[in-house]
Structure formats: C-alpha cells, structure tokens
Structure 1
Amino acid sequence: MGVTILTQFALENKTGPQTVEVLSKRICALGAVQQGHFLVDCETYTSVPQLGHQRTVHVLHNSEQPATVFSLLDNGTKITALATDGLFDLLMMKMSQFYTSKKQTKAESKGLRYEIGDFYVKLGTVTVSSNYKGILVEVEYRPCVVPAMCWDLLKEFLQGFLGLTAPTNPPTYLQNRMQEVYTPIDTIHQYLEHFTMFRKSPGIYRN
C-alpha cells in the first residue's frame, strides 16, 4: 500500500446520497473507474470498574485487509496498536466480563471505491449506530510510502475534486510522522480520529 489521507466533506443543503453523487461525478470526470465497494468499521469497548484505571479498546476492520483485525488500546496516556487475525474478535467476546461494548457507538464508513492512475479514492458514508453522520473521503497514493515525499501531490489531487474544502495541511495524526514509512495501522489511526469526531457530532447533515 501507499500513503493514505482521510478528510471529511460536506455540501450545504445536500443529503448524504446527493453529496456522494456529486463527488462520484467529479472523480469520474477525471477518468476514475469504479472498483467495487469498501467498508471500515469500529467497535469500542471499555474496561469494567473492577479493573481499576479505565482502559478503552477500539477494534477496527478494513475490507482492504480482510484477514486482519486492528485494535487500539488506550490507557489514557498512550495508545498501543495491534494487528492480529480474526481470532481477536472471539477473544473480545470471551473477555466480555472485563470489557463491555459502549452502547450506540458502532461506527462504519462504507461506499464505492475508485481507481484513477496511481490513486485509489473511496467515498464513505459514515454512520454511528446506524445514524447518518457525514461523508469521509479516503485517497491513497500507491507509489509512495513516506508522507513527506508525496503530501504536495496528494494535496493537489484532493483539491482537484474537493475544491476549496480540500485540506491544506496533513492530517493531525501524520504531522509528526511525515518522514516515517506509512503502514496500514496509520490508516486505522486516521479512521479512529474521524469516527471519534463523528460520534461527538450531532449529525447535522441530512441523510
């Protein structure tokens, strides 16, 4: 994989499907070809009070890595990332007496996946507990693995179909990692940041 950037996108007075349709037309006008669908989901668990200091475990799945379960353990001071196989989901079920799923917080981003030259573009409709929250755009530039070496190109590409709403700075998570080799877990961190924002938002955009 290459370097991936995530950004939220909204159009005033447009519903979710209408916004996706606008973006689809823009990206196809640039020569993109639809390449199936994608799904990223996140379930969050918190430790029971008996364990003392509260810990949070975020479990994420990405259809780009179907055999991998990503988990981010947050103890309040640092986040530890793990990439495991599907047995981790079973492990969380068996640990239900120690970690409980947070109610009404399951987040998903799903939609169409496009290919245009060296880029992959994914237009995700985000829901939290089945309630529509907004649109999340994922762009991956495949030939590069160091964010600093391709950020300007990614920024220019995003501006090409998002216009003035495209980000002018790298995502917060990447800003201190621009010289490091990009890995799938970096994409997961970005998704968690956005899912956390969507969970806190009132869902002002219409579905």
Structure 2
Amino acid sequence: MGVTCIVRWKNATGMRDFTYIADYVTKTLHGKNTGPWSLTVKMYRDANAMQRQGNDSKAMHQVALGQRPGQLYCMVDGGVVVEAEKEMESIFTRLKNIWQLRQSITIEGTSYDIDDFTLRVANILVGSTYKGLLLEIDYHPCTIPRNADDLFREFIASILPPTAQLSCEFDYAYEQVGLSQHDFSFAHTGYQYMILFRNDGLL
C-alpha cells in the first residue's frame, strides 16, 4: 500500500476547488479517475462519565476506510490504535450504557491514480457546514513512515495553489500508539485521520 499523507485544505471553496484539482490531475498530470471512495469517522464518549456530568469523560475515535472494507480502527484518549472487524460497530450500538455515539461524519469523494501516487479528494461536510477539502495521498514505492515526507510536500505544492491554507502533520508519534516506525499500515492512516479530526475540531 505504500505510505499515506492526509491534508485538509481549510480555505477551499467547495466544488469549484474540487473541480480545479480534478481538472489539473486528469489534464495536466494525466491521472486516471479510478472511481469513488469514502471514509467514516466517529467519536464516542464514555456514557458513565457523561451521566455523572464529569468533564473527564473518555473519547473514542473510530475510522472506517473505504479502501479497507471490513476493518475499523479505534483509539481511546490517545491510547493504542486497535484494528477490529467491521462487525465491532454493531457491538458498539448494543453498548450504549458504556459508549455513546456523539458524532459521525461520512465523507465521499473521488480517487485518482497518478504514476506512483494515488490521490483521493473529497469535500468535508460536518452536518450541513462546509469544512474544506480533504486530500489523502498514497505514495506506493515507500513503506517506511516519514521517509516520503519531502515527496509529499512537493506533491502537495504541485497540485494546490500557493494561497491554500493547509492542515497537515508529518511528525506523528506512531510508536506512542503502538504502531510500527518501520512498516506503514492502514492503521497508520486511520491514526492520521483521528489526529486531523481531533486537532481541527471536526469531531
């Protein structure tokens, strides 16, 4: 699968900028549209702490990647990232006395293959509020976290205008959440989404 970088174009203007990227990728970079993709991010709260009206209730983030059907990635309060079967979602719905769903965001967009890269692009809607454009970039020849950061920076700069205000991390503390520093996985991608959505206040 390679390594992945997640970027939020904060001051994008909806479909106009989505179309701008799509046209640039297909006409200038000769990328191939490979169809739709989707992503779901959920945030749960510790139901018992909420009932006590405590301010210290735990939060659990959950990510389902469209390119990894059948799997979920979960993290409680910055703890270890855990991969679970998709059936785990139905278990959470029966555990309302433990975990209560607070917010759920589903993002749908388009995927493109560009030489050694795969680019996935989607508008971010939280409820009916537009929150910018999401870009998920895979670089396939590399499998070691952080080894392609400079390439990602160059790729992002090549497809986005200089006025783009970006939210993007490169220095993730993978080892602190039980993820390998040597082999990138879908769990790393899920963790990147959890950090983005948490730090940007999208959940």
Report the residue type matching 1:150 in the other structure.
Answer: A
| Equivalent residue, structure 2, for 1:194 | 196
Deviation, 1:148, is 3.6
For 2:57 and 2:181, the matched residues in 1 are separated by: 33
Deviation, 1:73, is 1.4
**2:136 is the alignment partner of 1:138:** yes
For 1:178 and 1:70, the matched residues in 2 are separated by: 15
Find 2:25's aligned residue among 24, 27, 31. Answer: 27
Cα deviation digits, residues 77-124 of structure 1 (max 9, x gap)? x4221111122101101111111111xx32233211000111100112
Aligned length: 193
| Equivalent residue, structure 1, for 2:4 | 4
| Equivalent residue, structure 2, for 1:100 | 100
Question: Contact 2:142–2:148 at 8 Å: present in 1 too?
Answer: yes
Deviation, 1:38, is 0.9
Secondary structure of residue in 2 paired with 1:182? coil
For 2:190 and 2:76, the matched residues in 1 are separated by: 13
Deviation, 1:130, is 4.1
Deviation, 1:131, is 2.8
Deviation, 1:172, is 4.0
Question: Contact 1:155–1:166 at 8 Å: present in 2 too?
Answer: no
| Equivalent residue, structure 1, for 2:183 | 181
Question: Contact 1:106–1:129 at 8 Å: present in 2 too?
Answer: no
Report the residue type matching 2:126 in the other structure.
Answer: V
For 1:114 and 1:95, the matched residues in 2 are separated by: 38
Question: Contact 1:45–1:101 at 8 Å: present in 2 too?
Answer: yes
Deviation, 1:129, is 2.7
Whose helix proportion is higher, 1 or 2?
A: 1
Assess, with a 3 A threshold, how the Cα gap between structure 1 residues 178 and 101 changes in structure 2: closer, same or farther: closer
Assess, with a 3 A threshold, how the Cα gap between structure 1 residues 178 and 46 changes in structure 2: closer, same or farther: closer
Question: Contact 1:70–1:81 at 8 Å: present in 2 too?
Answer: yes
Report the residue type matching 2:40 in the other structure.
Answer: D
For 2:165 and 2:173, the matched residues in 1 are separated by: 16
Cα deviation digits, residues 142-174 of structure 1 (max 9, x gap)? 11111343222222222211243487x852426
Please, which runs of 5 or more residues in structure 2 have no aligned partner? Answer: none
**2:73 is the alignment partner of 1:70:** yes
For 1:54 and 1:146, the matched residues in 2 are separated by: 35
For 2:135 and 2:173, the matched residues in 1 are separated by: 16
Cα deviation digits, residues 56-88 of structure 1 (max 9, x gap)? 1112111110110111111xxx42211111221
| Equivalent residue, structure 2, for 1:84 | 84
Secondary structure of residue in 2 paired with 1:136? strand
Report the residue type matching 2:2 in the other structure.
Answer: G
Secondary structure of residue in 1 paired with 2:125? strand
Deviation, 1:132, is 2.1
For 1:10 and 1:23, the matched residues in 2 are separated by: 15
**2:157 is the alignment partner of 1:154:** no
Q: TM-score, normalised by structure 2?
A: 0.83
Question: Contact 1:6–1:136 at 8 Å: present in 2 too?
Answer: yes
